[in-house]
Chains A and B, each alone.
Chain A
Amino acid sequence: MRPVVTQEKIKNPLLESNLDRLARYGFRQANVAETDTAATDWARLKGDFARADEAAVPEFDQLPPAVQEAALHYIALKREADTLLSTCETAHGEILNQGLSVPRVEDYAVVRDAYEDKVEEFGAARAAVAGLLDQSPAA
């Protein structure tokens, strides 16, 4: 039998390694959705709220219920952004390996817009959590 010849895929190490920096917030960790709790997600993300002049940001379990609820929304949006960013990365890989073309670039523009909208929502959710944290008494 003839061996199957597959063309070597071109990789994009610069993009990959720099997106890996999002791993500290849970990006591209395949097991995240299965094993992580809101508490571990929150622990990764709470730096978004840690101003130098303020007391430490409480752990998830210490948050008042209303803040927990807003935090869960914020965490969910971050996970959705992760998924969309992975889709963008796949689209880059296709353009690189199959070639530039108008349909491939327009497909990319669609997923990229979706990612960008999600980041905007994530930012708004972050601001909502920050507002609630400012109002809630220190834990």
Chain B
Amino acid sequence: MKTYDKGDVLPDDYRTALINLMCFQADSEYAGGQRVAENMQYAPRPEEAYRLSKKVMEEFGHAYYVWNLLADLGIDVDARLQELVMHPDNPDKAKVNVINGFRKQNWAPLFDHWHDVALFSTVVTPAAVAFLGQYRECSYLPWAKVNTRIHKEEMGHLAFGVWASKRSMEFGGEAAREDMQGRVAKFMRVGLGFYGRPSTGDKKSEMFDIYYEYGIKVKKPEELQAEYLELLEDRLGQVGLEMPQGIEPDYDMRVGYELDAAE
């Protein structure tokens, strides 16, 4: 795999594809932080609230790291930050690339209780960990390095999910466990859909092959899904919840290949 470092001349197509994916990551990290901030309303106790604001601070930090790299590539990143800050509910799609799942109208209906917040980090975050984890090995080295830093913190968010889920059950007993079990499936649909469609078959994504060839997507959706399911099963086991069977992925929550092809 040919790699590139800061300041290297990038082939035009590579540069376009790279900037597209990096913008998706940076803008979505920030929007994700905004959604987590909105979830502060559900925090039931002090420690939950302070730990959730820790997560908000981290997500904004992730966006900042990637935006700094995009600035080196000539992107006006301050305009992106300002768009998200000034129009958090519905940022302009022509100005920022936020994944569908982190847009408020798609996110907010999934949440009406702290249990949802705890489960998001237990059931969806493993998908983000697996997905972003691949960028640690991508061909653009500065981005690979930043994602190594981000990945460590995302692992911490998984730990937050396990902690928050266990504590909900400690306080709420069996009734809390049952309520949470009922909420797992809707988040698993999101987690399963995170990577986009499989890399083979008639429904395959047109963009995937291009990204894969350039080494800016390193793993196939089916490999990422296997990693996701392994992480998910382990974490659900840790908190005493069962993995629902026969869940269909929600590809509308994917991280954007088809969207790119349509542009």
Contacts and interface: CB of A to CB of B under 8 A. Distances in A.
Interface of A: 10, 12, 14-15, 18-19, 21-22, 25, 44-45, 47-48, 50-53, 78, 81, 85, 88, 92, 95-96, 99-102, 105, 108-109, 112, 115-116, 119, 122-123, 126
A47 to B, nearest CB: 5
Q: What range describes how many residues of B lie at the interface?
A: 35 or more
A15 B84 CA distance: 11
A22 B50 contact: yes
A122 B173 contact: no
Contacts of B199: none
A52 B50 contact: no
A37 to B, nearest CB: 17
Interface string B11-54: 00000000000000000000000100110110111110111011
A119 B54 contact: yes
Given A10-B85, A22-B40, 11 more contacts: A10-B86, A15-B34, A15-B37, A19-B53, A52-B172, A96-B85, A105-B61, A108-B64, A123-B47, A126-B46, A126-B47
Interface string B82-122: 10011010000000000000000000000000000000000
Contacts, number: 93
8 contacts: A10-B86, A14-B37, A19-B40, A78-B46, A96-B81, A105-B64, A105-B68, A115-B54
Contacts of A95: 64, 81
Contacts of B43: 21
Given A112-B58, A119-B50, A47 B81 contact: no
Nearest to A89: B57
Contact of A100 (B37, B45, B67, B88): B67
Interface of B is mostly: helix
Contacts of B54: 115-116, 119
Interface-centre pick from B34, B82, B171 (highest chain A CB count, 10 A): B171
Contacts of B170: 51
A53 B170 CA distance: 9
Interface-centre pick from A21, A22, A99 (highest chain B CB count, 10 A): A21
Given A18-B40, A95-B64, A100 B77 contact: yes
A138 B113 CA distance: 31
A100 B63 CA distance: 11
A47 B58 contact: no
A100 B71 contact: yes
A52 B77 CA distance: 48
